[in-house]
Homo-oligomer: A and B are copies of this chain.
Amino acid sequence: MTELLDQIDSPDDLKKLSAPQLKVLADEIRRFILSSVARTGGHLASNLGVVELTLALHHVFDFKKDKLLWDVGHQCYTHKIITGRKDKFKLLRKADGISGFPNPAESEYDQFTVGHAGTAIATAIGMALGQTRQKENTKIVALVGDASIVNGVSFEALNNLGLVKRQLLIVLNDNSMAIDPTQGAVAKYFSKIRLSQTYEDLRKTTHNILEHMPVIGKTVDEAVERIKKGIRMVLPASQMFESLNIPYFGPVDGHDIGPLIQLFKALADLEHPAILHVYTKKGKGFHPAGTQPSKFHSTGPFKINNHKSGECVEVETAPKTGRPTFTNVFGRHLTELAEKDEKILAISSAMCDGTGLVEFRRKFGDRFYDVGIAESAAVDIAAGLARSGLKPVVCIYSTFLQRSFDQIFQEVALQNLPVVFCVDRAGFVGSDGPTHHGLMDIGYLRMMPNMVLMAPADETETKLALEFALSEGKPVVIRYPKDLVPKEKSVRTACAKPFKLGKSVVAKKGKDSAIAIVSYGSVLTEALEAAELLDRDGIAADVINARFAAPIDEKIVQLLEKGKAIITVEDHTAACGFGSAVLELAASKTMGGKQKTGDSNKLNNIRVLGAPRRFIKHDTRPTQLSQAGINAEKIAQTAKDLLEK
């Protein structure tokens, strides 16, 4: 079954294979990816789409010295398989296993640890300029999807491609679909071209390019002119890139490995930047990934019942809890609220499914805007909507919202506009690892005047927080993790109280307690568990559910005055986070009061638990939280240390 694949230990082994052999190898790799991802979970559809493309690139270039830059990077599995990491797919995205994204720490074949869209062209420009300055002659290839190329960073880079006076090949991998169908004018433009092309046209284009490629003494401009004359069909596709002065080749078939190799050979020798437009099919070779692209973009483990029909079922890796995710709860409740309030609108940045908005979009198609991978514009559009008197809800993952920092500052906070930000995947995210953790949002948002920062601890609070945010008439941020909501019984009834601006709630009152655990968001469960652990050791602790990181409840600081020690807990970097805000408030006051801990030094009586200032790699979310010291055991231990010191 994997005869050829078994012989591939490095890309050098590829180079010995003929085109027909590579075709067989591609099938083997496709089966390997399918069975591997079915077992471990991971990104599937995009990886099945670029098998031939990746093999052709590695057949032509030598990426031990040449540079291959992945955009987003979740489509790098074939690349990892043939660069010596095949055996590590058993632990894909797991502890001690390989990451699901490129990572220079894993292999010299990887240049950047990436996960966000739009960065490949700009970093490729930097590397090309660097190679020129260093007088190196390595080749540079940037592989960019059609969903990434519409991102503002990609465009800024394309606009600056003229800085490069040497070879730099951009492969535009056009598979007509980001995680959600790609939005916007460029996507429509690509799709118009795509629809006008038959398979025969693609073949003709390939031949035409090969025939007219520059030979010594002829410039690329002449070649492009000749190619255009050769096939009229190419003209509309080239228009956009032509206006940016970028030589454009294509579109060509990205699964036809023989011609692809010839094309790359020809394009590798150009002494200018150029773009090759390639069509691939997401989920190629696995029927369900084609029909349910959103489901098989990033999937958990699954079983294939019938290999022929491709029928498959999801494999339960965790016991069935019956509990929804925070994302589910948010999405459902927003849809419910929107039934009653016509002013509510939702804005997504190519993550309608991921942020739980599918039902909202189905019900309120005209109140839902997906702007594609364009987080900056998403926030500005929301600001315009809010300025018109509406209630836009912007739903973006914490890590991607970093792209909107400046827009949130200028167009929302400075104007004090009532935009609600639903910050999904806040905190540790598990298997996607450091590019995707949402560990900085509290810090970058709480510096801005006017912003209200909230974090619900459970299902009820998620609903109440959303209701509060939509009625507050101010910019409000609600953060929640990539996780199931906790069992209702684990959090106390205090969470059912309506939100009041800047007010915390008491989740548990310890008798004569000398210590209070103050938690922000879903880590309340850990705080409560810690209190139980302490209880068993005869130590009474209060548990406070802070609810707000801006403004901070003064009552939290008054606990110190009452002589209690405080431990703050959050799923965020300790730097600049919730606990840091508590410290700032405490330091701004002169406090009297007698310490119950016996230590009269109040700074000795506060501890901030949050993520350390280092990157924590892919693993399960609970393990990551533990590694960061954000769990019940660590809280309890910290409490004991505080009381015993």
Binding site for B on A (CB under 8 A): 104, 111-116, 119, 122-131, 133-134, 136, 150-153, 155-163, 183-186, 188-189, 239-240, 242-246, 345, 366-367, 369, 371-372, 374, 376-377, 380-390, 392, 400, 402-403, 405-407, 409-411, 414-415, 434-435, 439-440, 443-444, 446-449, 550, 560, 573-576, 579-581, 583-584, 586-588, 590-591, 599-604, 606-608, 613-615, 641, 645
C-alpha gap A504/B184 in the complex (Å): 51
**What DSSP secondary structure best describes chain A's contact surface?**
helix
Closest residue of chain B to A186 (Cβ to Cβ) is B159
CB-defined A-B contacts under 8 Å, sample of 8: A114-B411, A115-B410, A119-B380, A130-B388, A240-B244, A446-B575, A447-B575, A588-B607
Residues of B within 8 A of A128 (CB): 384
C-alpha gap A150/B160 in the complex (Å): 10
Query: Do B185 and A161 touch (CB < 8 A)?
Result: yes
Query: Do B152 and A155 touch (CB < 8 A)?
Result: yes
Query: Do A160 and B372 touch (CB < 8 A)?
Result: yes
- Which of B162, B367, B409, B435 is close to A414, meaning CB atoms less than 8 Å apart? B435
Residues of B within 8 A of A136 (CB): 388
Residues of B within 8 A of A382 (CB): 126
Supposing A119-B407, A130-B390, A444-B443 touch, asked if A449 and B614 sit within 8 A by C-beta, the answer is: yes
Cβ distance A367 to chain B, nearest Cβ, rounded Å: 7
> Which one of A130, A150, A183 has the greatest number of beta carbons of chain B within 10 Å?
A130
Query: Do A604 and B604 touch (CB < 8 A)?
Result: no
Residues of B within 8 A of A560 (CB): 603
Additional 5 contacts, C-beta under 8 A, given A123-B387, A159-B372: A113-B410, A116-B410, A122-B384, A414-B434, A579-B587
C-alpha gap A601/B409 in the complex (Å): 36
Query: Do A155 and B157 touch (CB < 8 A)?
Result: no
C-alpha gap A389/B129 in the complex (Å): 11
Residues of B within 8 A of A434 (CB): 414
Residues of B within 8 A of A115 (CB): 410
Query: Do A150 and B156 touch (CB < 8 A)?
Result: yes
> Which one of A111, A153, A159, A376 has the greatest number of beta carbons of chain B within 10 Å?
A159
Cβ distance A502 to chain B, nearest Cβ, rounded Å: 13
Residues of B within 8 A of A371 (CB): 156, 160, 163
